[in-house]
Amino acid sequence: MKKSLSEQSKTVKQRREWLIQSLRNHLVPVLLDHGFELAPLTGSGPIDRELVLSLPLGRMRRARNAGVDLIEIDLAKCRRAAFRILAGVAPKDGLMAFTGHWAAEDVYVGWLNEYFTMYAFPRWQIQFSVRHWPHQSPTQSDFDRLAQRVAELMPELELALREGRTAPDMRRWVIPRSAPLQSDAVAGKT
C-alpha cells in the first residue's frame, strides 16, 4: 500500500530529527572532548533560514596559534537525513569578505580559500546517511550507529586541520586566488 504525501513527509521529518539527535548525542561530545566549543550562527542582521536548517547544531570552533579550527556538520538539502562535515582553519587575523572584516571565530568554512569536506564516499561526494533495504524503515539505533561511526573518523579531521592533509574520507577544496583585473595588469599594478 502506498503512503500518502503527509505520511511520507512525516517519516522524512522523523528521520531527520533522529539524525540530529544522534549527532548531538554521539558526534558533538567527541568534538567537545577534542577542545571544540559550540559557536552560534553569526551574521550582521537576520540569519538565513536555509543556513539554520543546514546547520541545526550550529558551528564548532577551536582556537590555536595557527588560527581558529572550524567544523560544520552540514545537513543535506531538501530535509533529507544525510550530512557531510566541513572543516577548515580560519586565519587568526580573520577574513575580509564582501560584507566587511570578519573575526576568525565568526567565519564560515565555505568562505575559506582552502577547506576540507568529509563524505561517506568522497569520490562521488555521497553524504553520510543510513542505508537500508527497500520496504525496511530505519530506526533511531541505525542513526546512532551512523553517528558513532563518523565520530570514529575524528583522527582524519585532526589530520586535515593540523597538517592540511587529506585522509580516505576527505576531499580538499582549494579556491585559487583570482588573477589581477585586466585594467590593473595594463596599468602595471600586478
Residue 58 near residue 71, CB atoms below 8 Å:
no
State how many domains the chain has: 1
Q: Which residue has the cell 571565530?
A: 105
pLDDT, average across residues 3-17: 72
Q: What is the pLDDT of residue 1?
A: 47
Cell of 77: 538539502
Q: Which of 11-15, 25-29, 66-70 has the lowest mean pLDDT?
A: 11-15
Expressed as residue numbers, the domain containing 67 is 5-186
Quote the pTM value.
Answer: 0.84
- With a cut of 80, say whether residue 81 has pLDDT above it: yes
- With a cut of 50, say whether residue 147 has pLDDT above it: yes
42 pLDDT band, cuts 50/70/90, is confident
Mean pLDDT score of the chain, rounded to an integer? 86
- With a cut of 70, say whether residue 44 has pLDDT above it: no
Q: Which of 35-49, 74-88, 91-105, 128-142 has the lowest mean pLDDT?
A: 35-49
pLDDT, average across residues 117-138: 87
187 pLDDT band, cuts 50/70/90, is very low
Higher-scoring residue by pLDDT: 97, 122: 122
Q: What is the pLDDT of residue 8?
A: 55
pLDDT, average across residues 80-103: 91
Q: What is the pLDDT of residue 34?
A: 96
Give the Å distances, CA to CA, from 138 to 59, 119, 144. 27, 20, 11
